[in-house]
Structure 1
Amino acid sequence: MPEGHTIHRLAGEHRRAFAGRAVHAESPQGRFAAGALQIDGRVLTEADAHGKHLLLGFDDERWLHIHLGIYGKYAFGPVPAPAPTGAVRLRLKGAEEYADLRGPNVCELLDPAEKKALHARLGPDPLRADADPELAWRRIGRSRTSIGVLLMDQSVVAGVGNIYRAEALFRQGIDPSRPGRDLTREQWTAIWTDLVTLMAEGVRAGRIDTVRPEHTPEAMGRPPRVDDHGGEVYVYRRSGMPCFLCGTEVRTEVLSGRNLFWCPACQTR
């Protein structure tokens, strides 16, 4: 599932391609035909993101809410757009570009009240200017649940996925099994600050890089990472490999249905 930086990049792509202009909307697949008809010809006024939720605002105050889930994908291209192929849930087309959406978990229209309710049930997003990390700390600081689980709970922190979870905890030397209430306020502040920095870099670069300058392949004389996810990381999907810092074997286990990666020597309780 895409992490929050990808959704913020998609919001930026929509602003660049369509903001301030009327768009043609259609649902070649047919599953969003009624919704597409309602926004067809409307001006796209805003493109927003909160966690893993993309929100496109139109001039009639309605919002298109998209959650990609595991299988959702976007493709942008120049007009004239080719004939749709496959299950295209939604095609937005402007004067110069089009965007095809396939396989989202959610594609629906919201009124302002429904959009407000969506924001209310999500935790603070490290990539949003209005994010308040204190809201997350109020829940984390009194929870018996492990910080590894809490960081993946979108009602606690929005936008963090498996990679940012593993990497931020490694960078701060925190065992993912430590209960939230066992963290100090300073440790939470350090995790949040790291997430803000790492995820903003993800928006800029379009990939997740988490290693510090002294641990890059060039600095360490090691081969670059070869992985479908790209980016240089410390522990994510490095199970059984030596930790860059201490040489201990990186471990993995399933936690709340997701693979968790950590270094048992560098990350302590």
Structure 2
Amino acid sequence: MTTLIIGQNSNLSGALLTSRVATHALSSRELTNNIALLDAYTTQPLNLIFNNFQTAVSLNDGAHLSEYIENSIHITAKILDYLRGTPIRKIIYTSSSSVYGNNVLCSERDELKPISLHAALKVSNEKLIEKYAQDRGIDYTIARIFNMYGGNDTFSIVGKIITSHLHNQELTIINNGNAIRDFVHIDTVVEVYQRLLDAKNLPIINIGSARGTSVRNLLDFLKNHGFHLQTRNLTRDELKISTADNTIMADLLGKTEYSDVESYLLSRLSCS
């Protein structure tokens, strides 16, 4: 069975390919220019993982809105149209915890309250996948990932903390680092995706640790262990709190204990 990732350049895509959860990947930007790259996959049974979106470093960039929409949702629709006759076995869509808005313990049953363009377009992609799959009797899962770290990570705040320490650079934090987030290691995300390929009738799943902490708490933890980072604060609108109800994920994996971000950071900084 071929498992194809749409969006090959992200940290998660690399981890899925390395772990053999997926066997092939295509760049969504290359597909924008040449959708016929999909021809090699149109006649064989296929699992599809949509891991495409606007480049992470440009999520707050509204200078080129047509490009933003193309990268975020239009290419998803074009791919689904092109594969209309393909025997698709499973679709997994990589979504985000941001679709819930501010939420102390996000349940898959909760009302969606996106407060950013990024989150609103994630919701739109979810609905697009849902409609397409239900109309064609295709099994699908919307994976709402919370704050992922680990792997080849240069974008997350955890990755930036490590980079700041390694290069003795000032770390930029938002709103004094007081927002509460749920941090989940990329290995857990990969394990969930592996299970999802064979799971049936699981339309939505949260992928998180069910534990919230703040960047401020992480920095204080590191300081108490001898690692003091210089910071610069920016004030910006952001979610104040977002943590996962991960009961469905725990049932899927058969466990409730996961890597904790403090131990990960301490290990990485101690080895540098």
Q: TM-score, normalised by structure 1?
A: 0.24
Q: Which protein has the larger Cα radius of gyration, Structure 1 or Structure 2?
A: 1
Q: TM-score, normalised by structure 2?
A: 0.24
Q: Which has the higher helix share?
A: 2
